[in-house]
Structure 1
Amino acid sequence: MDLTTFDAVLSRKPFGDSGYVREQMHRAFKRRLESLCVSVPAARHLLTALQHATPHLEYRTLGDPLLRRAVQQLLTPEVVGPRRKSLSPQSAAHVLETIAQHVEAGAANGPLQGESAGARWLGDPSRTPWIWSPDQDRGFAGHTFTRFIEQQFGAELAQPSESDLAVLRQGCRLLDELLPLTSRGALSHTHLIGLTPGTDAWAGKSSSSQFTVVGIIFLNRKLLQNPWWVAEHLLHEALHQKLYDFRHAHSMLTRDLDDSPNAPGDVSRVVSLWNVPGVDGNNRWDVHRVMAAFHVYVHLALLCSLAEQHASRLRDTYGPLDAPRPMTASRKAFARAHYLAESLRAECWDELGLAGRRMVDWLNAVLDAMDQTPPPAGSFLHLLLDRYLKEARRLREAPVTDDLATTLAALGRSEAETFREVLSAVGAKDPLDTRTAEQAPRPARDDRATDGTADRAEHHATFAQQRQRIADTLLRLAPNGYSLDSLCRPAGRSADEMVRAMVETSSRELAATSAATPANPDRRPRHRPSS
């Protein structure tokens, strides 16, 4: 099947056509400025200036992250909320006035660039974002934005190096090779890239976007090494921006139609089974996050499939696809997209507006057309085992402590026991010597302090190896690679549910132990994962 045809399919009107989505978003924000004119004179000044602006300046202005935050905060302060409120009404009005003067002067680019001619662009300046440089002076707008980022996220952005810029541009060119129409459209909704230092408040986050801070995406500069990884994360976050623009002008969610201060808040409904929950259970997603992830994974399934098909041809230019920090495997992206499509219909349908439901129908039709071997409806074993192995990989980098070693010893025994019960339920023999897990890992004794750290590290590795063997065995036994239940006796327990209980219990135990470890970076504030 020629998947390249879906590049055009995912760029069609109304849901995939970036020109249409952007035009509707511009109209929505002009209406919002119009509604502010009586109380904020600067809004009228800006609207008047925009009437005489070039199309490019209007595009950069109405996509500017600071402008859009200021408008939203002036218009709906109860939605932004006091916790996130980092622009006073006076500052927000001053932002509008400053931007109105910027537009009135006929500037060449967006407000945050000011008069600077030294901006570094990801690619074509007419349709790709530029990369934020903290050392670049941009006047009032730039200084206000810098303070806003520090207040919003608790840390400032990093200064990009020449090597950072080079790999970002490589990722952009790779997108253009694999998925030109879709990637160009998505990137046109992103106006700014902020590189995070990957430390403090930014620790543990590869990339992120927020609906409350539109127009900018954040990438961890520590991870800018593999162009394939960069391409995936650029597209991932740019697609979020495209969906945010769509939501600002369409009835994507029912709560978007209720402007009252008492509109219902977010309700977590869907568990993203492949994500580690942590102590806060932040793998439980509200309808907006489920919709955003579904939108992304349909596109990523296509990107990653094309990457796998063309990896050998592009290897000399972009390096190996399986380099450190590789792309998501296409089958994983397809599986997650199918799960999220089912979840939207089963759990979130009443919270989707008319446009949201039609978008789900469209994306689902595209997904079904692309994937000739979809997972069986309702299957989840493969997604749980993704998390199971992800936790094991993280443990290799976790602080080596007695508490964690004790937890791993207990979990190693209980997981081995559950594994044997699952095998019994499906009528299979234990191909592993999992009973050895009952003796290891174990905490090091106090009288072996010199060697204790090495012992505990070895126990981490042993636990991770056991998990790998268990996961490999279960997936190999599953007739279709997605479920074990067809092997169970009709009146017997569900093997898939037994695995689910094991994984969820282990996740809770590991999260509780990690939260109690003082040196653990997970105790620092961090952004919620986008998908």
Structure 2
Amino acid sequence: MRDLIQQVDAGLQAHDEFGDSQQIVRLNIERYKFALAVLAREDARLRAALPAVEALSHAQADKLFGDLLVRAELEAAIERLETGVAPLHQAGLLTWSLERSLARIDEPLSLSAAAMQRRFVAGPDLDGRRIWIWDLADAAEPAADALREALRLGFMPGGHCEAQLVRPSEAMVAQFDRACTLLQTLVPHVARSVFGHLHSVAFAHMRNERGPMLTASGGDATPCMIFIAPEELANPWDTAVHIMHEAVHLKLSDLVRTSAAVVREDMVTLPWGREISVSNCLFAFHAYVHLQIFRTAVERLGPELHATYGAPEDYRAGTRAHAMSVVNNASTAPFSRGHERMAYLARQFRSEWSHYLTPFARRMVDWLCAAIAPLIDMPAEAAPVAVAAGDAPAGAPTASVRYAKNPHLQLRPIQDRGVLFAADPAQPKIRKLNTAAWLMFELCDGRSELDLTQAYADLAGLASDRAWRQVEPTLGNLVANGMILPQGQSVAAREGRAA
């Protein structure tokens, strides 16, 4: 069993697109660099900072874009760019925080970490970076004031939630660090992966409309951080669960920043008595899969560690029951345990809910099911839905419609990842093209639909009719996103058909 646990632990991080945190973080950093370049068109100070940003090493860039103030203000600026919604934060704070962070990039602490009154760190050393613990002083100081405002406005907005920070003690930090070590000992690959997305932790008393909360992870206003109730820290087993749970959410957040996961954000009712959005269900499923490997490791390998950490049952009396607990979850009620919820969500996403997911998310769900299957039975993949005659592409490629690239685009190619970031000044939304869409974009050099289809068929090794089934929707998306411009006598008819 030890070998199987190690195999699944490593396998959950091995997927180049969904599992490899270094690649996920790197691609997100490229998105942020591109966003700064797009924003800099209207901001001279940002333009002046771009060369220094591009010159950063990966570790320095991770430190810069992992800083709470820099990332929060950059996400707010991206939202303003793409939606026109005014950000809630102080005007100019992005430029200020970016310049301040670049000025101290060679110092040990990031801008936000340096605003703490005391320096508390925990967790593994990742290229010179460890998790820093929130210890905001009461005194006024620009970075500390900005952090307080970020917490006030950004702790789980819209969820009727509140958080009261608790100043850490040395004992609390030691307890948190002990749980980090336990997590690394049991599932070293998963632990290293999720720690790559976690930059800071705050101890806090939290509540939402349902009552006290044990943990939470930051949204865009409080990114790269998690919150843990201080009374949870005495139990190393469930503290490790909390760290893993919330840090896995941060990992998926970083992943879906560059790849859309949900086609339509409907609310669904779960059999364990909750009504939540489809995307929240996807986040929950992703977390349950990762927590299953930890639960199995606790059951099979944990007894070897009881002398150091105590046995899980030793902490049961002081532990609130919850679905992910490895200490207090003796309930026999349906769907009260994490693995039951995981199996239910997998079944839904592979059947009734599959239409909510993008192809990217459907592939991720299938991979997660396959990765955890050696440890627990998972629902079989649903049979492919037959394509009805009316679902086939209308018409056929024509020689009368040609496509050319939009000459006004701003582009950032990531060659070794097969990814192209793009933005159209007329539709200032950051787009990410995967390898297939990027290939189609490059082929749009004035060629007709017939020529595009044949070129794609030759490159992909497909028959022309099969190639057109892939080419037509990709062309439609590229046109809708402003990436390419159709030209020719039948453009109006083609655009109407694509709509």
TM range (shorter): 0.5 to 0.7
**CA shift for structure 1 position 155:** 4.4
1:445 is matched with which residue?
A: none
Residue 89 of structure 2 corresponds to residue 87 of structure 1: yes
From 273, 276, 298, give the equivalent of 1:285: 276
CA contact (8 A) 1:102 1:114 kept: no
What TM-score does the superposition give when structure 2 sets the normalisation length? Answer: 0.65
> CA–CA distance in 2 between the matches of 1:28 and 1:376?
35
> CA–CA distance in 2 between the matches of 1:46 and 1:112?
19
Q: Structure 2 counterpart of 1:39, which letter? A: E
Q: Secondary structure at the match of 1:129?
A: strand
Residue 151 of structure 2 corresponds to residue 143 of structure 1: no
2:212 is matched with which residue?
A: 204
* Correspondence 1:200-349 to 2 at 5 A: 204-212=212-220, 213-254=222-263, 266-269=265-268, 271-274=269-272, 277=273, 283-322=274-313, 323-324=315-316, 325=319, 326-327=325-326, 332-349=337-354
2:119 is matched with which residue?
A: 119
CA contact (8 A) 1:243 1:292 kept: yes
Query: Relative to structure 1, is the Cα distance of residues 51 and 78 closer, same or farther in structure 2, using a 3 angstrom cutoff?
Result: closer
> CA–CA distance in 2 between the matches of 1:115 and 1:63?
15
Query: Relative to structure 1, is the Cα distance of residues 8 and 132 closer, same or farther in structure 2, using a 3 angstrom cutoff?
Result: same
For structure 2, list consecutive stretches of 5 or more residues without a partner in the other structure.
Answer: 156-161, 320-324, 331-335, 383-499
Query: Relative to structure 1, is the Cα distance of residues 74 and 35 closer, same or farther in structure 2, using a 3 angstrom cutoff?
Result: same
**CA shift for structure 1 position 202:** 11
CA contact (8 A) 2:115 2:143 kept: no
> Percent same amino acid among aligned pairs?
25
1:351 is matched with which residue?
A: 356
Residue 183 of structure 2 corresponds to residue 175 of structure 1: yes
2:64 is matched with which residue?
A: 61
1:27 is matched with which residue?
A: 30
* Correspondence 1:127-526 to 2 at 5 A: 128-135=130-137, 139-153=141-155, 154-198=162-206, 204-212=212-220, 213-254=222-263, 266-269=265-268, 271-274=269-272, 277=273, 283-322=274-313, 323-324=315-316, 325=319, 326-327=325-326, 332-372=337-377
Q: Structure 1 counterpart of 2:65, which letter? A: L
> CA–CA distance in 2 between the matches of 1:197 and 1:191?
20
Q: Secondary structure at the match of 1:193?
A: strand
Q: Which has the higher strand share?
A: 2
Q: Which has the higher helix share?
A: 1
**CA shift for structure 1 position 198:** 4.1
CA contact (8 A) 1:70 1:96 kept: no
Q: Structure 1 counterpart of 2:12, which letter? A: L
Q: Structure 1 counterpart of 2:71, which letter? A: R
CA contact (8 A) 1:240 1:296 kept: yes
**CA shift for structure 1 position 290:** 0.9
> CA–CA distance in 1 between the matches of 2:309 and 2:172?
15
> CA–CA distance in 2 between the matches of 1:218 and 1:159?
13
Q: Structure 2 counterpart of 1:56, which letter? A: A
User: What is the aligned length?
Assistant: 356
**CA shift for structure 1 position 216:** 0.9
1:434-470 deviations in Å (ceiling 9; x for gaps): xxxxxxxxxxxxxxxxxxxxxxxxxxxxxxxxxxxxx
Moved segments of 4+, more than 6 Å:
78-82, 199-202, 375-378
> CA–CA distance in 2 between the matches of 1:335 and 1:128?
34
For structure 1, list consecutive stretches of 5 or more residues without a partner in the other structure.
Answer: 256-265, 278-282, 379-531
Q: Which moved more, 1:24-33 or 1:84-93?
A: 84-93
CA contact (8 A) 2:22 2:196 kept: no
From 70, 91, 97, give the equivalent of 2:99: 97
> CA–CA distance in 1 between the matches of 2:373 and 2:241?
22
Q: Structure 1 counterpart of 2:337, which letter? A: K
Residue 35 of structure 2 corresponds to residue 6 of structure 1: no
**CA shift for structure 1 position 201:** 9.0
Q: Structure 1 counterpart of 2:237, which letter? A: W
Q: Structure 2 counterpart of 1:344, which letter? A: F
Query: Relative to structure 1, is the Cα distance of residues 80 and 291 closer, same or farther in structure 2, using a 3 angstrom cutoff?
Result: farther
Q: Secondary structure at the match of 1:293?
A: helix
Query: Relative to structure 1, is the Cα distance of residues 319 and 42 closer, same or farther in structure 2, using a 3 angstrom cutoff?
Result: farther
